[in-house]
Amino acid sequence: MQTDSSFTFVLFGGTGDLSMRKILPALYEAHRAGMLAASGKIVAVARHEEDRASYLQWVNEHVKAHVAKSGVDENAWASFVDRIEYVKLDLGRAEDFVKLRDALQDQSGTRVFYLATGPSLFVPICHALASVGLNENARIVLEKPLGYDLRSSNAINDAVGEIFSEEQIYRIDHYLGKEPVQNLLALRFGNALFEPLWRREWVESIQITIAEELGVEARGDFYDNTGALRDMVQNHLLQLLSIVAMEPPHSMDSDSVRDEKLRVLRALKPIDPRDISKVAVRGQYHAGVIRGTSVPAYATESGVKTDSATETFVALKVEIENWRWAGVPFFLRTGKRLADRVAEIVVNFRAVPHSALGASALRAGANRLVIRLQPNETIRLYCLAKKPGEGMNLSSVHLDLAFDQFFKEGQMEAYQRLLLDVINGRLALFVRRDEQEAAWKWVEPILNEWAASGKPKPYAAGTWGPAAASAMLAQHGTCWLEEEN
């Protein structure tokens, strides 16, 4: 599938980590696969490199290492680099944006501005683009975090919204571009098998986990002012929850999908501040061991305050107040320095109401669907079957859809899919402003309570977080799924 027409992709923060690791590699993969119109151009904007030659040298030295696992096709790489132009730009100099406008004057087709910068620069960049008329008939991509709380998020959205219409704004959440998330939609809405079961009568509980082995790395200063609730829950986890729980849209057009996600977010049961300790667990990692290597405590990481109360782990019990999901707990979990790197959705179905086959058929989680987002992307359905031999002894078996084995063509990475959607004007996988506001409204009582209360619970790096997170699930007769590979 090739992009519909010519385009100019303007990348602010062209020498940043995100550009190096994700955006430019994704554009290269789209180019190599023939998905970009031949006339499309990439214009990198930064202030570090002096000219195009020095920028292309930086691209060759730093970006190449992050492209396809199968290696670089040198011919494709050479033709990809030919697409790249460079503009040295200082955000504080209005005349530099005149220089950018002049550089884009001869470019035709769709114009995309990708702000791979800190959120404090979003509004100044938008104002500067408008001052030279570059906001007209353009699309703008905003990376997270979009604000620190509801008030600051609204302030950014208000300011950007004065310059770009909602249809021009693409708030990116890369988890929505992952192949298994797309397949979750296909699984639910393309098959008669699952939809009748996708409701309170048949689902006992749902877990959504995004776990990381890494710590804060070189982002200590940023992370210590953000925390896991803002960094992961308000966007990634609540977006995944809304897709799992949404009603069938009447079509897959952008507003139909996002309308249904919004209904889920608005149906989240508000958390009474007095109950936060019962339904929300926050933790902070201490020193520990991961894969045989000792790692330091969060409080000793570079850029982190030694008395920091910032959470590096969050576990939540969430309820949705509608007819489909009333009474079904959704358990969300995310953290750094955990025992494994994994992102997955676990749908635990209810046990059979009566078993003639013994107690094993009545155990919780005997039937479950596990949708793995990373590191390997699979969908696995668990059920009970008879063990070979004498007697009716049941054992857990599973059906696997391993995408890399079933589909021989290479999978599309999340950023590649989302960048193609921006270029082609498809908004369905991007977050609308009202979705973002609903998510901030729901998490804000937790943020406020934690800001006023004591420190997070400690957990050793290399474990699955504070014991209180497991105790919260035990109260509902279930446990986190942690043994899958």
Any domain includes 360: yes
The predicted model gives 68-72 an average pLDDT of: 73
Which amino acid appears at position 364 of this protein?
Answer: A
Query: Is the domain of 335 the same as that of 406?
Result: yes
More confident residue, 470 or 107: 470
Q: Which residue has the higher pLDDT, 58 or 147?
A: 58
Burial code of 89-127, b = ≥16 C-beta within 10 A, e = fewer? Answer: beeeeeebbeebeebbeebebbbbbbbbbebeebbebbb
Give the strands of the sheet with 368-374, arranged side by side. Answer: 394-402, 378-386, 368-374, 342-349, 203-211, 330-335, 313-318, 280-286, 457-460
Condensed to tens digits (0 to 9), the pLDDT of residues 247-258 reads 999 988 889 999
- In DSSP terms, 397 is beta-bridged to 383
Does 178 appear as a known binding residue?
Answer: yes
Q: What is the CATH number of the domain that holds 58?
A: 3.40.50.720
Q: Is 422 inside a domain boundary?
A: no
> What is the DSSP annotation of 271-302?
PPGGGHHHHEEEEEEESEEETTEEE--GGGST
> For residue 428, what pLDDT is reported?
93
The Cα 429–Cα 170 span in angstroms is: 9
Q: What are the DSSP E strand ranges found in 105-263? A: 110-115, 138-142, 169-171, 203-211
Band of residue 471 on the pLDDT scale cut at 50, 70, 90: very high
209 shares a domain with 110: no
Give me the pLDDT at residue 419, please: 96
Q: Is 458's pLDDT higher than 70?
A: yes
pLDDT digits 0-9 by tens, 391-415: 777 878 888 877 667 776 667 889 9
Q: Which residue has the tokens 């884009």?
A: 104
Query: Above 60 in pLDDT, residue 218?
Result: yes
How do residues 279-328 score in pLDDT, each as one tens digit? Answer: 999 999 999 999 999 999 999 999 999 999 999 999 999 999 999 999 99
Q: What percent of the chain has pLDDT over 90?
A: 70
pLDDT number for residue 15: 93
pLDDT value of position 69: 66
Cα end-to-end distance, the chain, whole Å: 33
Q: Are residues 214 and 348 in the same domain?
A: yes
Asked whether residue 171 is assigned to any structural domain, the reply reads: no
Sign of the alpha-carbon torsion through 262, 266, 268, 274: positive
As a whole number of angstroms, the distance between CA 228 and CA 298 comes to 13
Selection from 160, 122, 477, 446 nearest residue 329 by Cα: 477
Whether residues 75 and 180 share a domain: the answer is: no
Q: 302 and 438 share a domain?
A: yes
In a domain, 160, yes or no: no
2: pLDDT strictly greater than 60? no
Q: Compute the average pLDDT of residues 426-442.
A: 95
Residues 359-395: tens digit of each pLDDT: 666 666 688 999 998 888 888 888 888 888 877 778 7
Q: Please report, as a single letter, which amino acid is at residue 142.
A: L
Known binder of ligand: residue 408? no
Query: Both 331 and 435 in a single domain?
Result: yes
Work out the percent of the chain whose per-residue pLDDT is above 70: 95
Residue 314 and residue 295: Cα distance in Å, rounded? 20
Catalytic one of 48, 62, 66, 236: 236
* DSSP secondary structure code for residue 153 in this structure: H
Q: Is the pLDDT of residue 353 over 90?
A: no
66 is catalytic: no
Structural domain includes residue 156: no
Q: Which own/partner pairs from 429-432 qualify as long-range (CB within 8 Å, at least 24 positions apart)?
A: 429/176, 429/177, 430/170, 430/171, 430/172, 430/173, 430/176, 430/254, 431/171, 431/172, 431/173, 431/176, 431/235, 431/239, 431/258, 432/166, 432/171, 432/255, 432/258, 432/262
**Long-range Cβ contacts of 399-403 (<8 Å, 24+ apart):** 401/183, 402/376, 402/378, 403/179, 403/180, 403/183, 403/377, 403/378
Q: Mark which of 143, 168, 197 sits at the end of a domain.
A: 143
**CATH code of the domain covering residue 181:** 3.30.360.10
Determine the Cα–Cα distance for residues 281 and 313; give it in Å rounded to an integer. 8
* pLDDT score at 413: 87
Residues 6+ away with beta carbon under 8 Å from 98: 132
Q: What is the CA radius of gyration of the chain?
A: 24
My answer on whether 185 and 44 are in the same domain is: no
Residue 418 forms part of a structural domain: no
Tell me how far apart the alpha carbons of residues 269 and 280 are, in angstroms, rounded to a whole number. 13
Structurally, how many domains does the chain consist of?
A: 2
Model confidence at 1: pLDDT above 60: no
Q: Where are the alpha helices (DSSP H) in 162-283?
A: 179-189, 220-224, 227-228, 238-245, 254-266, 276-279
DSSP-derived secondary structure letter, 110: E
- The band of 62, judged by pLDDT with boundaries at 50, 70 and 90, is very high
CA distances from 348 to 184, 241, 329 (A): 15, 14, 11
Cβ distance 330 to 320 under 8 Å?
Answer: yes
What does the mean pLDDT of the chain come to? Answer: 91
Q: What is the domain range of residue 205?
A: 176-413+430-474
Task: Tell me which amino acid residue 311 is.
Answer: E
Q: Where residue 166 falls among pLDDT bands split at 50, 70, 90?
A: very high
Q: Please report the pLDDT score of residue 126 as a whole number.
A: 96
Q: Is 51 helix (H, G, I), strand (E, B) or coil?
A: coil
pLDDT at 364: 63
Query: What are the angstrom distances between the C-alpha of 483 and each of 47, 236, 319, 344, 464?
Result: 47, 23, 25, 12, 11
Q: Give the list of residues 6+ apart from residue 378 with CB closer than 8 angstroms, or none.
A: 180, 370, 371, 372, 400, 401, 402, 403
Please tell me the predicted confidence (pLDDT) of residue 71.
Answer: 77
Residue 128 reports pLDDT greater than 90: yes
In a domain, 167, yes or no: no
Between 141 and 273, the more confident residue is 141
352 pLDDT above the threshold of 60 = yes
Region 193-204: what's the mean pLDDT?
A: 92
Residue where one domain finishes, among candidates 126, 143, 160: 143
Say yes or no: 137 and 79 in one domain: yes
The whole-number pLDDT of residue 191 equals 87
**Residue 336 confidence (pLDDT):** 97
d(CA 481, CA 468): 16
Residue 91, annotated ligand binder?
A: yes
- Phi and psi at 147, nearest 5°, equal 100, 170
Residue 95 has pLDDT above 90, yes or no: no
Residue 90 labelled as part of a binding site: yes
